[in-house]
Copies of this chain bind each other. A is one copy, B any other.
Amino acid sequence: MTNASAETKNDAPKRQRERIYKTAARLFAENSYGAVGVAELCAATGFGKGALYYHIGSKEELLFEVMTRYMVDLVEEGRRAAAEDATPAERISTLSRKLVRSVFDHLPEMTVCFRELNSLGPQNRAVVSKLHLDYQRIWEAALADGVAAGVFRPISSVELKGLLGMYFYSFLWIKPKGPQGPDAIADRYAEIVLRAVAPS
């Protein structure tokens, strides 16, 4: 068995889980976590109850995955962006594009994340909060580098939370097929951030 075929073989469960997550995110967003039963998840994904539990563990585990996967990706992408050779303004631009693209790609996940935080147990909820804090730290580091380089003014945590809120709130009004694509919106928002941190 070659590595390639081993990868293909291991990819099948991953793709199946992916399909379950996407379907669950859509169902939870359209209705609510509490209103969607395992039977409905089985019907929508085409899995039997046993196979579904094999893939997801439990319904709360599924909710947790829906709420965390896009944040894990954002944190990983943000850390990769931090390692790239770029000016502070270019890093803000990159973070901005990755964040708005993530909003475009994860509208149901974000809807669920903001609505169902209380449906998670305290341990899982703490992980979600930690991920959001880790993500905020990536922006803080990018802004701090700009301050160190003398090209940004320092801003407070409240101001950064506001600027990130500008992005995260957008899941409420972004239409994936709307007139403006993610990069166009991201570039406008990066400009707002850069104006906010421009030395006075």
Q: CB within 8 Å of B: which residues of A?
A: 31-32, 34, 114-115, 118, 156, 158-159, 161-170, 172-173, 180, 185, 188-189, 192, 195-196, 198
Cβ B170 vs Cβ A162 within 8 A: yes
Residues of B within 8 A of A162 (CB): 166-167, 169-170, 188-189, 192
Chain B nearest CB from A161 CB (Å) reads 6
Residues of B within 8 A of A192 (CB): 159, 162-163, 192, 196
Contact of A115 (CB < 8 Å), options: B114, B156, B159, B168: B114
CA A185 to CA B160, docked complex, whole Å: 12
CA A168 to CA B192, docked complex, whole Å: 17
Considering only CB atoms, which chain B residue lies closest to A31 in the complex?
Answer: B118
Cβ B165 vs Cβ A188 within 8 A: no
Considering only CB atoms, which chain B residue lies closest to A156 in the complex?
Answer: B188
Most buried by B among A180, A196, A198: A196
Residues of B within 8 A of A118 (CB): 31-32
Cβ A170 vs Cβ B165 within 8 A: yes
CA A160 to CA B156, docked complex, whole Å: 22
A-B contact pairs, 6 of them (CB 8 A): A114-B115, A114-B172, A115-B115, A162-B169, A164-B169, A195-B195
